[in-house]
Chain A
């Protein structure tokens, strides 16, 4: 009987302890959890548009770069604001080297679109574990690629340094590197 009562009792204590931990208040932060810098924007309240800065701010920074950044970025793919363009556009996919991650003008043959839509030849659909991007959002990324995947100012979405990322970009472009 003691053991029977102990288990649910201990779980209740654990529940109460855990319930004391919640999300941050977000005071003083932008929608990506970074400190607000006066005049820098950084909010994702604006609608998603088919340009890299918008895609970075709405998708790459808040969703992808949770994993795809830094020294442990899966497949060596860095999708933080400073490195996303150089790691994507014209760079062969690691999983399917015959395909470019982003092939300007050709979203159907861009590996990133195949991974987001869930029909890539290799591996799991992204974002890993979901929720997945809806069709309209993927269409905006496709439109950016159809438009030639132009580079726009990449630094607005988060505060990573483009200058520091240059070696990453150069290496990724040179050697290939989702």
Chain B
């Protein structure tokens, strides 16, 4: 019996895991605190040198061995996403259950699939020339998020991308609704088309991008220039980023500083972005900030506390907003994470939406 049951049990387990993934209901796939815990650059674990999405062999090994509380049977975790010598693929699935409470309004519960994504990287010339594609398969029809050609020196010492990709600006957070991501206008929901020149040398990472500008989509007018420099050490990192957009919707500049620090089991992330937007009759300046602390309680268990502030117009008093999140992340086995969180928004009392609360449960599968 045993020889028959063992493979059946493995298959049953995998089937159940798959069904769980398909049955339950945020977007994108980056967690910079993980890089901070290891004192590594994004490029150490991701195919994309600016981080997120498809993992390389190191990233996959990290995802298998260093993140989850438990290990899978060896056979189930051996596959590394390689299809032949030149093609590597990966995927990401997120479902969520949300309960929102807006003062004086009916509470709202929503559940559903947030995204199914697949990504692939073809090495046309190993370590020199590749094509990278990141495609959202659901919800709705397929939609390309990133698709670019990448030419590089070995180890990404210097590289160039051309095509559609996410812009490098500040912490590449999983939560695209964070104030710093919304205010900067750069998140993993806003890919742009253009070229990027980057380098990964010593303790430094840098990028310089010239793109169409997200706000210019469909109009064909304007451009966006973005640059970022990061100094990475084993204890933490410091970065600065800037972007300027020329747009028929109004020119816009954003400057940001961000950093991270590791203190024992805690990882601290911080970012502050100043936005200057000329799309208003009088140019408005906005300020968004983030402070996040991640506590690796033990392997597979992470507690995340985030505080954010947002001033939508620095020339107007009494209009500040704040947001606090408490999220527990449990990774029971490789490639499967459960997240439960509570988020409280604080804003002016006459705006109910700015004072809402959100509770959420997410299931995240990835490989």
Interface residues of A (CB under 8 A from B): 3, 6-8, 10-11, 14-15, 17-18, 21-35, 43, 62-63, 66-67, 69-76, 78, 80, 83, 94-95, 118, 120-125, 128-132, 134, 159-161, 164, 167-168, 171-172, 175-177
A23 engages B320 (CB within 8 Å) = yes
Q: In the complex, which residues 305-325 of chain B have their Cβ closer than 8 Å to any Cβ of chain A?
A: 305, 307, 309, 312-313, 316-322, 324
Contacts of A27 in B (CB 8 A): 317-318
Max chain B Cβ within 10 angstroms of own Cβ: one of A3, A33, A121: A33
Q: How far is the CA of A3 from the CA of B266 in the complex (A)?
A: 10
A33 engages B351 (CB within 8 Å) = yes
- Interface check B218, CB cutoff 8 A: yes
Q: How far is the CA of A67 from the CA of B178 in the complex (A)?
A: 12
Q: How far is the CA of A11 from the CA of B176 in the complex (A)?
A: 24
Max chain A Cβ within 10 angstroms of own Cβ: one of B26, B250, B293, B318: B250
- Number of A-B pairs, beta carbon distance below 8 Å: 225
Q: How far is the CA of A23 from the CA of B305 in the complex (A)?
A: 18
Q: How far is the CA of A50 from the CA of B185 in the complex (A)?
A: 30
Chain B proximity of A129: nearest CB distance (Å): 4
Interface residues of B (CB under 8 A from A): 26-27, 98, 100, 102, 105-106, 108, 110, 112, 114-115, 136, 139-141, 143, 176-177, 182, 184-186, 189-190, 213-222, 224, 245-252, 263-266, 277-281, 291, 293, 295, 303, 305, 307, 309, 312-313, 316-322, 324, 345-351, 353-356, 358
Return the contact of A161 from the options B277, B281, B317 (Cβ within 8 A). Answer: B281
Chain A proximity of B76: nearest CB distance (Å): 32
Contacts of B143 in A (CB 8 A): 95, 122-123
A29 engages B141 (CB within 8 Å) = no
Q: Which residue of A lies closest to B136 (CB)?
A: A123
Q: Which residue of B lies closest to A137 (CB)?
A: B105
Given A22-B322, A74-B189, A124-B27, residue A132 in contact with residue B110 (CB < 8 A): yes
Chain B proximity of A3: nearest CB distance (Å): 5
Q: How far is the CA of A131 from the CA of B358 in the complex (A)?
A: 9
Q: How far is the CA of A164 from the CA of B279 in the complex (A)?
A: 8
Given A11-B293, A76-B249, residue A134 in contact with residue B108 (CB < 8 A): yes
A3 engages B322 (CB within 8 Å) = no
Given A33-B351, A72-B214, residue A128 in contact with residue B176 (CB < 8 A): yes
Contacts of B176 in A (CB 8 A): 128-129
Given A33-B312, A70-B250, residue A23 in contact with residue B216 (CB < 8 A): no
